[in-house]
Structure 1
Amino acid sequence: MSIQPLPKADFSYNMKLIGHSDQGGRPDGVQLMVNKGFAYVGHMFSKGFSVIDVRDPHHPKAVEYVAAPHNTWNIHLQTHGDLLLVINAKDMFAAAEFQDEKAYYKGAIGRKVGTASGDAARDWTGGMAVYDISTAGKPRKIGFMPVAGGGIHRIWYTGGRWAYASALLDGFTDYIFITIDMTDPTRPVEAGRYWLPGMNLAAGETPDWEPTRRYGLHHATVSGDIAYGAWRDAGMVVIDVADRRKPKLITHRNWSPPFGGGTHNCLALPDRDLLVVADEAVLDDYEDGFKPIWIFDNRVPGNPISLATFPEPKEADYKSKGGHFGPHNIHENRPDSFVSSELIFATYQNAGIRVFDISDQYRPKEVAAFVPGEPATLADRRPNRKKVIQSCDVYVDKAGLVYANDYNGGLYILEYQG
């Protein structure tokens, strides 16, 4: 079998590409996890998820593909130990109402898919699937938690009894925060909910924000008994989850406006009393402007204070390159991965993968970058999509290898050399 040459980079420093996979001809990827030498990749357009053998990172091999149910997204997933959790939600980017991507990021999504009133005709599967991955690389479905509504968007699970998710449920304007009891992985059950006042239309609440804004949870990460929720155009919502059945608000911080919203990740660095918070660029051609990655002082959890923003990549004209330019995802320091409170790994969509040193929290600096070249194919079949790289997720394993994927470009395996 001939060995395919590695794709060429448009730009690189302090990062070396050592392996690449087109994921079995399904090069589109959203969230990825690495567990026991296998990468699990949720697809944006290929209707399911794939498993890639990365035990030899120089020669990754696609070994499994699990198709999604009809009209259903499996874009996000979590692994820990012997479990894989996979979201099931309406395939938004296959829907006619979201072929113009702006429609997905503007306004109450529950109203658009009919779940706000509870009257949507269901032609998708909503909920969370549980797989046994005790045989590495061979997911075996063992459980499912259904939800009534659009489905689950993203999960946070690092083992034990509790998982946490964003869920689009009947009667709500957008995704809310839920806790999930995993005592029996074959029968996970919702345990608690939190939403911002105004989201629960079924209970007679009325939104007090502009109807063009997305007041919905992307997802929360959990540190101890505190959940840090990235609430898109509502900023950061900090939630006390000491009682997982009755989550309650600690504080809500929103910097949009004047900034453009789209908050996507919140990462607590408890050893330094810091938070790293990323705002996602969601529109093409820099239409939504500068989207920062922020550093917050978190010494007083009820009063996080912004200290600095990360520098924006400037070695090329990314604003005019096409597609999205700005942050998408950051490596989230999962306990079974590489954990650092000084190095932050992020994807910047058409500007690739970036590494930042925040040892001085007041002056974050970029220390490495890798920008893949133009993808070989365009997996994104929506109209008017430009054939440019859109680096989506990044995961760093315990050995320090960096895994990154793309809407079109496949899986990249990199060594950080800073």
Structure 2
Amino acid sequence: MKPDHARNMRLIGHSDQGGLRDGIQVMVENGFAYVGHLFSQGFSIVDVRDPKNPKPAGYVAAPPNTWNVHLQVADNLLLVIHGKDVFADAAFADEASYYKASAGAALGTAIPTAEKTWDAGLAVYDISKPGEPRRIGFMPVSGGIHRIWWTGGRWAYVSALLDGFTDFIFMTVDMSDPANPREAGRYWLPGMNLAAGETPSWPASAKFGLHHAIVHGDIAWGAWRDAGLVVMDVTDRSEPKLIVHRNWSPPFQGGTHNCLPLPDRDLLVVLDEAVLDDFEDGLKNIWIFDVKDPANPVPVATMPIPVDADYARKGAHYGPHNIHENRPGTFQSSSLIFSTWQNAGVRVFDISDQYRPKEVGALVPPPPAGMMDKRPGKKPIIQSCDIFVEKSGLIYVTDYNAGLYVMEFNG
């Protein structure tokens, strides 16, 4: 399998995930990859003990109308989100109808009027037997969860959609009894709690909802989509407090997706996600912020955009989607940033000089063999989605249609 473009990187393995080639988040633990699906519901397991020859090793189905797009692995446990399978709904065949509205309005949870047709909450699996998840617990959440940050131990952090709220909010979850996870605290931006009589101060077309937060120490760095960066003090997990809210949309395009702290350098890498086809939502950036004072984050640079092809005109999604998040036990670096750029594949940046980041590696896989995305107008174009870098340096990359790639960076 020959990539369309490669620089200081090479493909070493590929799996079609047992025919369910659509993938969102991937986690690798004890020789097995766990992949959440975008169109196939449920999640798959891939044996990657031989990374040159990864093999499908199982599939766990989701309940009807439910997706398991995001998951986390630690402490021999697998945490999996349950939320509405948005793209199975004909109302969202045009992605803009989801991304240009609040989740509460789009999914009917802001002012609930009907019984939900999907499963909503957080599932917990025992994976002490690698590759063989056994469900042991579940925490219901009225509208569902989008993404989790959990690296083991007592505290997990989720983006939760609750009845009566405009969109996803920040929630702390007590995992001290994995069979019975429970909410500990929550934070939302003023204006999100419709049930309490709050009124949004932002346009109805702006998506002011938490994608997810990365927590280091007692600070949660929240990626709040069109609301930008929300920094929270979680010293008291039962009562998160705002440190600062910074938003650059407008004039920039919004869609903030990841906020990765690099504590040893007092830096924060912030990625704005491209969500629409054919460059409709314009240029999205990966920013570098100086956060010496967490209450005063200052942008100092953006990553360079790919220049080896005209990706803005290639079709499908073009622009950043995800970054490797330096999870404990994985490859960790405060100078190398691994990112996915959808139709522009994978990009690796050296930020040793935070004021002059440079691209030092790239790999664009070939077009997918077939389409898992059956929505009208979708084209067979690579859409590199999530990225996970093992401690060994092996890189695992999912795609909306093309399966799981294993790569290597040689820079």
TM bin (shorter chain): over 0.9
Give the counterpart letter for 1:146 in structure 2.
Answer: P
Matched with 1:121 is 115
User: Does the 8 Å CA contact 1:329/1:392 hold for their aligned counterparts?
Assistant: yes
User: Does the 8 Å CA contact 1:113/1:120 hold for their aligned counterparts?
Assistant: no
Give the counterpart letter for 1:21 in structure 2.
Answer: S
Gaps in structure 1 of 5+ consecutive residues: 1-6
Q: Which one of the candidate residues 93, 118, 130 is aligned to 1:136?
A: 130
User: Does the 8 Å CA contact 2:335/2:350 hold for their aligned counterparts?
Assistant: yes
Matched with 2:205 is 212
Matched with 1:247 is 240
| Whole-angstrom CA distance in 2 between matches of 1:120 and 1:109 | 16
Q: Which stretch has the larger CA shift, 118-127 or 293-302?
A: 118-127
Shift of 1:112: 1.9
Q: Deviations over 1:343-385 (max 9, x none)?
A: 0000000000010000000000000000011100100011111
Q: Which one of the candidate residues 29, 39, 60 is aligned to 2:54?
A: 60
User: Does the 8 Å CA contact 1:172/1:199 hold for their aligned counterparts?
Assistant: yes
Give the counterpart letter for 1:119 in structure 2.
Answer: T
User: Does the 8 Å CA contact 2:75/2:153 hold for their aligned counterparts?
Assistant: no
Shift of 1:336: 1.5
User: Does the 8 Å CA contact 1:250/1:302 hold for their aligned counterparts?
Assistant: yes
Give the counterpart letter for 1:66 in structure 2.
Answer: V
| Whole-angstrom CA distance in 2 between matches of 1:373 and 1:140 | 35
Matched with 1:169 is 162
User: Does the 8 Å CA contact 2:26/2:34 hold for their aligned counterparts?
Assistant: yes
Give the counterpart letter for 1:44 in structure 2.
Answer: L
Q: Deviations over 1:83-140 (max 9, x none)?
A: 0000000000111221110011012120121100122321100000000000011100
SS of the equivalent of 1:250 reads: strand
| Whole-angstrom CA distance in 1 between matches of 2:332 and 2:267 | 14
2:334 maps to 1:341: yes
Q: Which one of the candidate residues 363, 367, 373 is aligned to 1:370?
A: 363
SS of the equivalent of 2:222 reads: strand
| Whole-angstrom CA distance in 1 between matches of 2:79 and 2:173 | 12
User: Does the 8 Å CA contact 1:85/1:129 hold for their aligned counterparts?
Assistant: yes
2:100 maps to 1:110: no
Q: With structure 2 as the length reference, what TM-score do the two structures score?
A: 0.99
User: Does the 8 Å CA contact 1:105/1:282 hold for their aligned counterparts?
Assistant: yes
User: Does the 8 Å CA contact 1:118/1:170 hold for their aligned counterparts?
Assistant: yes
Q: Which one of the candidate residues 35, 42, 47 is aligned to 1:48?
A: 42
| Whole-angstrom CA distance in 2 between matches of 1:36 and 1:197 | 42
* 1:10-21 map, 5 Å: 10-21=4-15
| Whole-angstrom CA distance in 2 between matches of 1:204 and 1:24 | 48
Over aligned residue pairs, what C-alpha RMSD do you find?
0.6
User: Does the 8 Å CA contact 2:25/2:386 hold for their aligned counterparts?
Assistant: yes
2:80 maps to 1:97: no
| Whole-angstrom CA distance in 2 between matches of 1:307 and 1:108 | 30
Q: Deviations over 1:183-209 (max 9, x none)?
A: 100000011110000000000000000
Shift of 1:8: 1.9
Shift of 1:404: 0.4
Matched with 2:298 is 305
2:33 maps to 1:74: no
* 1:273-312 map, 5 Å: 273-312=266-305
Matched with 2:343 is 350
| Whole-angstrom CA distance in 1 between matches of 2:74 and 2:243 | 28
| Whole-angstrom CA distance in 1 between matches of 2:160 and 2:402 | 29
Following superposition, which runs of at least 4 residues in structure 1 exceed 3 angstroms of deviation?
A: none
**How many pairs are equivalent?**
411
| Whole-angstrom CA distance in 2 between matches of 1:388 and 1:120 | 38
SS of the equivalent of 1:271 reads: helix
User: Does the 8 Å CA contact 2:278/2:317 hold for their aligned counterparts?
Assistant: yes
* 1:399-414 map, 5 Å: 399-414=392-407
Matched with 1:264 is 257
Matched with 1:148 is 142
Q: With structure 1 as the length reference, what TM-score do the two structures score?
A: 0.98
2:222 maps to 1:229: yes
SS of the equivalent of 1:44 reads: coil
